[in-house]
Amino acid sequence: MIFLDAAATTPVRREVIEAMWPYLTNQFGNPSSHHELGERAARALADAREKAAAVLGCRAGELVFTSGGTEADNLALKGIALARRAADPRRTRVVISAIEHPAVAASAGHLRRVHGFTVEVVPVDADALVSPDAFAGMLDGGAPAGASDVAVASVMYANNEVGTVQDIPALAAVARGRGIPFHTDAVQAAGWLPLDVRALGVDALSVSGHKLGAPKGVGLLYVRGGVPLEPLVHGGGQERGARSGTENVAFAVALATALELSGDALETAGRVSALRDAFIDDVLDRVPGAVLTGHRTRRLPSVASFTLPGTSGESVLLELERQSVVCSSGSACAAGSDEPSPVLTAMGIRREDAQTALRFSFGAFITEEELVTAATELAAAVVRVGALRA
């Protein structure tokens, strides 16, 4: 099988399994217990937090381990917006981009429906880029200078469907200049792009384990010290009160190990980007009518995405799977829906063309040979599907 769906998920790396194994078996202590077994678990958790903090360039106390990217996004949006408004009741607006993952978009929707916030959506251009000027205009809205009414703003680092990478330092600077907390969903960026939160200038950043060789069901949220956060899960006060519940020590160790190992992937990013570009050229050459989606160069090393106007994305996907090439039609997270992707329509792609979208996403170990085979099989699959539809 040629697996070209790494943006949906990745297998757990052997080194990660080895690192977490003791905490699932003989070192099974609860970090809150006051005996040796518990203290060992607490030390492992603290060590994992330190390691993850080293990768993100932050303090260990600025990290909250979560059950994944979705929970990290929920905690960022709701936790910051609710705390900010509690401190300053004028802060009633939430600003997000038009291409956010549902974990961010639906959290903003919840803040609107249940908590009475106003949600504003910054548009993107045809390449899925957010313009810092448009972002600034939306943040300023109708508020008098020096008195922002925005509780939190969120723009994703790299898009999961088309791979476009935003200029996060520029966007974060726009928000910082106005005293507005800025969150970025770095779930797809992790493992491929620098995650140094100080260099990015962000106040909050989400990561998910299963996109970078840790298990599904673990993630983390960075929240800059001093940014108030209202917890969503209450109980025993773990994670410094930000997220109660007995900590998943084994998975925290797994995520920290995967993040450390992903230092290698940053080096691989150059090699994989070159393979991606060759694959894009190959597909555009061989498949008549194929259109690249997302920015040509400001994109994840690991994502090549296209629309195939006039054909059916779903049929081509099934045809490719018969030839053992696995990819995705848009985003796995929105699977099961017949609606065209909101990301693609926000980029101005027609609904009928959006329904023909295919995404090929690569792991760090992808080879040129696999991508040449995939492009050849894609061209053949489009012809076969076309013949069936004719």
**Bridge partners (DSSP) listed for residue 359:** 305, 328
Are residues 242 and 75 in contact, defined by beta-carbon separation less than 8 angstroms? Answer: yes
Q: Which of 83, 98, 97 is nearest to 151 (CA)?
A: 83
**In the complex, minimum distance from the CB of residue 138 to ligand PLP, in angstroms, rounded to a whole number:** 21
Q: Between residues 101 and 295, which has the closer beta carbon with respect to ligand PLP? A: 101
**In the complex, minimum distance from the CB of residue 192 to ligand PLP, in angstroms, rounded to a whole number:** 12
d(CA 344, CA 356): 11
Q: Between residues 213 and 219, which has the closer beta carbon with respect to ligand PLP? A: 219
Q: Between residues 178 and 210, which has the closer beta carbon with respect to ligand PLP? A: 210
**In the complex, minimum distance from the CB of residue 333 to ligand PLP, in angstroms, rounded to a whole number:** 4
Tokens standing for residue 252: 């925290």
d(CA 63, CA 50): 9
Are residues 319 and 358 in contact, defined by beta-carbon separation less than 8 angstroms? Answer: no
- Lateral strand order in the sheet of 303-307: 291-292, 303-307, 357-361
Tokens standing for residue 182: 């800025």
Phi and psi at residue 384, in whole multiples of 5°? -65, -45
Q: Between residues 201 and 209, which has the closer beta carbon with respect to ligand PLP? A: 209
Q: Which of 57, 362, 58 is nearest to 211 (CA)?
A: 362
Is 58 assigned a catalytic role? no
d(CA 42, CA 202): 28
d(CA 293, CA 305): 5
**In the complex, minimum distance from the CB of residue 27 to ligand PLP, in angstroms, rounded to a whole number:** 25
**In the complex, minimum distance from the CB of residue 104 to ligand PLP, in angstroms, rounded to a whole number:** 7
Q: How many CB atoms lie within 10 A of CB 250?
A: 24
Q: Which of 70, 52, 69 is nearest to 61 (CA)?
A: 52
Q: Between residues 255 and 382, which has the closer beta carbon with respect to ligand PLP? A: 255
Phi and psi at residue 227, in whole multiples of 5°? -85, 120
Q: Between residues 52 and 290, which has the closer beta carbon with respect to ligand PLP? A: 52
**Bridge partners (DSSP) listed for residue 303:** 361
Q: Between residues 328 and 356, which has the closer beta carbon with respect to ligand PLP? A: 328
Does residue 300 sit in helix, strand or coil? Answer: coil
DSSP 14-69: HHHHHHHHHHHTTT---TT-SSHHHHHHHHHHHHHHHHHHHHHTS-GGGEEEESSH
Q: Which residue is nearest to ligand PLP (CB)?
A: 69
**In the complex, minimum distance from the CB of residue 160 to ligand PLP, in angstroms, rounded to a whole number:** 3
Residues near ligand PLP, by CB under 6 A = 68-70, 73, 101, 103, 156, 160, 185, 187-188, 208, 210, 219, 333
Q: Which of 24, 143, 232, 333 is catalytic?
A: 333
**Bridge partners (DSSP) listed for residue 150:** 93
**In the complex, minimum distance from the CB of residue 219 to ligand PLP, in angstroms, rounded to a whole number:** 5
Give the distance from CA 53 to its chain's centroid. 18
Active-site residues, by number, are 333
